Amino acid sequence: MKTLAVVAKQGSADAAILARRLRQRRPDLTFLAEPEFAQELGWPIHTPEEVAARAELVVVLGGDGTLIRGARLLGGRPVPILGINLGSLGFMTEVPAAEGLDVLEEVVAGRGSVQQRMKLACRVLRAGVVAVEDEVLNDVVINRGALSRIADHETRIDGKLIATFKSDGLIVATPTGSTAYALAAGGPIIHPGLDCALIVPICPHALTQRPLVVPGDQVVSIHLGAEATDIYVTFDGQSGHALQAGDTLEVRRSPNRVLLVSNPRLDYFAVLREKLHWGER
């Protein structure tokens, strides 16, 4: 690995300091950054497309939101991502800032351990035509606007009806995303090595409508009823689009994967214990 792309938490002075330290420690490597951050650091400025195309390793300086932005920058390119945590929690940015330089040395030398994380390919169909397409690492969320009422979400798997969720919204998450919004909405924690998707209704108007774990190779479709108004779809919390009554959201497993460099000192359950205090009494 000779070319590294640095994706940093916006407005973070700590990220700028660490980025400079990384480059000073390894002057033999080529460091790229998104235009605004490169300008702040005094580095050569390249377009985001060029940064994504040239990167052999992405170094994220921030939290999980910054890591998701780095994954979206890559699109479907199978480039490892090293997450150095400068945020408040950080399930995917597993490496503490104090260990970032040492772990980077291991990764550049080819001694890093990489996990593959599932993504979901999403598209919104409107009158049979694709209106929006995107991919997510964490989740796709259908949610109401500020003044809208509970909506009907007719949900099917491979064309077979599951239920019509009467709720504020619906989350379809990957195993990676099970510790994000889906967890806050009452969903289970799913090990990221599993091949499945999670469907979680948001504030359902029935005690019988609970979260579901479904096979990863099946297509989830959510159809909005005719009375749906002021409804939005959000992809990984990064982009959002207004939906219309009659729209259908289709979600399926993406052929692309996100490659995350693991912290050699932590396994998945250690991350849960450290970040969530999971399993404590």
CA angle 269, 73, 50 (to 5 degrees): 140
Residue 13 burial (C-beta neighbours within 10 Å; 0-12, 13-18, 19+): exposed
φ/ψ of residue 91, rounded to 5: -75, -35
**102 catalytic residue (yes or no):** no
Cα–Cα distance for residue pair 83/132, rounded to 1 Å: 29
d(CA 77, CA 163): 36
What count of Cα atoms within 13 Å lies in the side-chain half-sphere of residue 228?
Answer: 27
Catalytic one of 14, 64, 102, 217: 64
d(CA 201, CA 186): 9
Q: How far are the Cα atoms of 14, 128, 204, 224, 225 from residue 250, in angstroms, in the given order?
A: 40, 12, 21, 12, 15
For the chain, the distance separating the N- and C-terminal CA atoms, rounded to the nearest angstrom, is: 44
Residue 270, by phi and psi: left (phi above 0), alpha (psi -120 to 50) or beta? alpha
Query: Cα dist. 151→65, 108, 145, 228, 245 in Å?
Result: 28, 50, 11, 6, 10
Q: Return the DSSP state at 127.
A: T
Q: Which positions are annotated as active-site residues?
A: 64
